[in-house]
Amino acid sequence: RSTLFPYTTLFRSSYLDNDNVSAELGPWQRLGDVESFQQEIAGPWATTLARSQEKKIVNNEIFKALMAVVAPKTSATLDGADYGVLGKATAKLRKLALSSDLVGFLDPDVEAEISSKAVSNKFITNDGVFMKLYGENAIGKYATAGWVETPDLPQITTPASAATASITLTNNVVAATDGFDEVTTISGTNLFKGAVFNVAGLKVVDTSGIQTEVPVQIVVLSANGAGTSATISPLRITLDGKAANNPNAWVATGTSSLTATYALGTSKTYVVCEVRAKDALAYDTYQFDQLPGSDDETVSTVGGSSVKMRIFGDGTNLNKLVRIDSAYAASLYEPRNAVVIYIEA
């Protein structure tokens, strides 16, 4: 195992799935109702599968971040959304000296609110490669990140009572004086997916192993029904200057406990956006092998997703079963390379 690339974290947090749709078409349907199978069925199905995949991946991966920015509302809806929020989010990543380009994802309402805040649009659109890559969803570049509009970002509504969190630190059995065992869970009250906590004195160790002054925010990935236990992105905490246990965070010498403070409001709705390193998300598509007695063909590639169509015939009634599959794996494997942005609605 490399001290700089914790591949066990990648495999542990990968999200694998196969989405599919199917329908049985009778001979009369094929004769009269479906003039163009590719246009009327295969194409729309492929698009639906790709969109559903994107939404699943976003919901599963977007909270895998060690940093967050919260933009509260002061008067009008979404008025906390502005260029300053985007600048604060990208600044956290720039302070980590990432080698990758940055890409951000904004809800359409958030993008509209931000664009309306300036006399002239501050998003720069003269990067032909970026604009071509993301097509009509590309907004432009600002604060060194390319920003993309997507309708698939989630919203969260917080409970009426503030969440609390307790973090248990256990001295590392290998280097008891240098750091702590990996932390993957927290306990507390009113915990929910997307809850954010500031942690006094906890700061990021970047992917080069350099201690930074960037504060760590803990973002809840999942919580039990009672809201008393939750999973978080793994924290490997070392003491100042020790670099124990392939750390991604550090605390001052003498630290034995951490204090977490809830960073969101109560009974509030937040639109969740994100900026991350372009290569922070690992994504790949797969194709299952051919089944005996079926006709297989790749329908199309939509948004990077390859979808495969299989056709089975039933000679007893002339029915045709059509099934389209899209298998994939996705993981935002390095939470240090992502910042979640909460815009109060």
Give 79-109 pLDDT, tens digit per residue: 899 999 999 999 999 999 998 899 999 999 9
Task: State the pTM of this model.
Answer: 0.84
Cα dist from 37 to 20, 24, 29, 43, 291, whole Å: 17, 13, 11, 8, 21
For residues 52-68, give the mean pLDDT: 92
Structure confidence at residue 324 (pLDDT): 79
Q: What is the pLDDT of residues 150-195, one digit of tens each?
A: 999 999 999 999 999 999 999 876 767 899 999 999 999 999 999 9
Q: What end-to-end distance do the CA atoms of the chain give, in Å?
A: 44
Reading phi first (left if > 0) and then psi (alpha if -120 to 50, else beta), residue 53 is in alpha
Q: Is the pLDDT of residue 7 over 60?
A: no
What is the number of other CB atoms lying within 10 angstroms of the CB of residue 283? 15
For residues 41-67, give the mean pLDDT: 84
Strand partners, 223: 230
Cα dist from 1 to 5, 6, 138, 174, 241, whole Å: 8, 7, 38, 16, 22
Q: Are residues 27 and 315 in contact, defined by beta-carbon separation less than 8 angstroms?
A: no
- Using 50, 70 and 90 to split pLDDT, how confident is the model at 3? very low
- Using 50, 70 and 90 to split pLDDT, how confident is the model at 282? confident
Structure confidence at residue 251 (pLDDT): 97
- Using 50, 70 and 90 to split pLDDT, how confident is the model at 34? low
Burial class (CB in 10 A: 0-12, 13-18, 19+), 305: buried
Query: Dihedral (C-alpha) 53, 59, 63, 68: value to the nearest 10 degrees?
Result: 100
For residues 112-116, give the mean pLDDT: 92
Structure confidence at residue 11 (pLDDT): 39
